[in-house]
Structure 1
């Protein structure tokens, strides 16, 4: 597998944060989005941002691709937008990361690629005391070849990531959750306070 393209998912509505773009919140002098770009860009062939609305508000030197499915159907729409963009650029795979997760691993992509030797899709996962392993569905490796299948699934009303990925076989790339879960994401003002402490 050649180096995948990267897509940062920033298409959510941030209801628990009071609306707006969580990725533009500042953490230690940088926006969450800038921190995500700095972690993902060195790991991928090229990088795009998935977001809806006026792209100029992000002020980043990246292509911005909008969802092609209306009414904010969730992260799968962002994955599809990324797959369509990557297909036009000649890529065979994309890796996605969430725009509100500033501490994800700097070896995310190679470990997802290794896991994907076992299945078409690979998702990041960390140990969870209740569920065994908790999958992080916005951090995945996705083959461009499945984009039409995903488009059809969204048209049929599928919204949950794992409801679609489980149809195709999904490997887990396991990451440790000590001293904290690296896929911790900022959803609320309290999470932002915690992120400042983790810095």
Structure 2
């Protein structure tokens, strides 16, 4: 099977957490990023981190740190583009992204995204809430390098919403079960850290 790169998206400003790097917050006795790396690394080839600012604060993880290629924090799509540029330089055809604040995402994420890929090789993850409504999780996706110039053009024209761009390119959807808990639960607030620690103890 063709190797795919992995990119952890950590370029946000964590305003609901009071600023700083959410990925460096601790869940139990380990950092959020440790949990995310442990989930994603076995599923991909090379792995990198998308983050802005001084990259040395992530030295302990031993991963390449990719800043957004566009200024002013244009959102997760800029991190996707950073990953696509990096993968293109490594001669790889695609990346899979995962959010740095989501420590319980599926261990078969990459295989399921590949199986669900649309005609242009794009796919997003999804899950249903308690009411049965399907939600897409656009920071968890499969992104082909072949679309990176199109994405760059869209960002430069002001596009910020991921699903607008993925819908243009007929992205597939990989739906994941939410029992016993939603695997895409993400840590946005101090209260979420407590919930993540509870889930960690019961998983």
Give the TM-score, by structure 2 length: 0.95
Structure 1 residue 118: deviation in Å?
A: 5.2
Matched residue, 2:144: 143
Matched residue, 1:134: 135
CA-based RMSD: 1.2
Structure 1 residue 127: deviation in Å?
A: 1.3
Structure 1 residue 7: deviation in Å?
A: 0.2
Matches within 5 A, 1:25-40: 25-40=25-40
The aligned length equals 199
Matched residue, 2:164: 163
Matches within 5 A, 1:18-97: 18-58=18-58, 59-97=60-98
Matches within 5 A, 1:112-131: 112-116=113-117, 120-129=121-130
Q: Given the alignment of the two structures, is residue 172 of structure 1 paired with residue 173 of structure 2, yes or no?
A: yes
Residues 32, 100 of structure 1: 8 Å contact kept: yes
Structure 1 residue 128: deviation in Å?
A: 2.8
Structure 1 residue 2: deviation in Å?
A: 1.1
Residues 51, 68 of structure 2: 8 Å contact kept: yes
Query: Unaligned 5+ residue runs, structure 2?
Result: none
Give the TM-score, by structure 1 length: 0.97
CA distance 1:125–1:158, change in 2 (3 Å): same
Please, which moves more after superposition, 168-177 or 119-128?
119-128
Query: Unaligned 5+ residue runs, structure 1?
Result: none
CA distance, structure 2, for counterparts of residue 165 and residue 174 of structure 1 = 16
Q: Given the alignment of the two structures, is residue 184 of structure 1 paired with residue 185 of structure 2, yes or no?
A: yes
Residue deviations 1:43-102, cap 9 Å, x none?
001100000011110121111110011000100000000000000000000000000000
Residues 119, 171 of structure 1: 8 Å contact kept: no
Residues 104, 184 of structure 2: 8 Å contact kept: yes
CA distance, structure 2, for counterparts of residue 102 and residue 150 of structure 1 = 27
Following superposition, which runs of at least 4 residues in structure 1 exceed 6 angstroms of deviation? none
CA distance 1:93–1:69, change in 2 (3 Å): same
CA distance, structure 1, for counterparts of residue 131 and residue 72 of structure 2 = 33
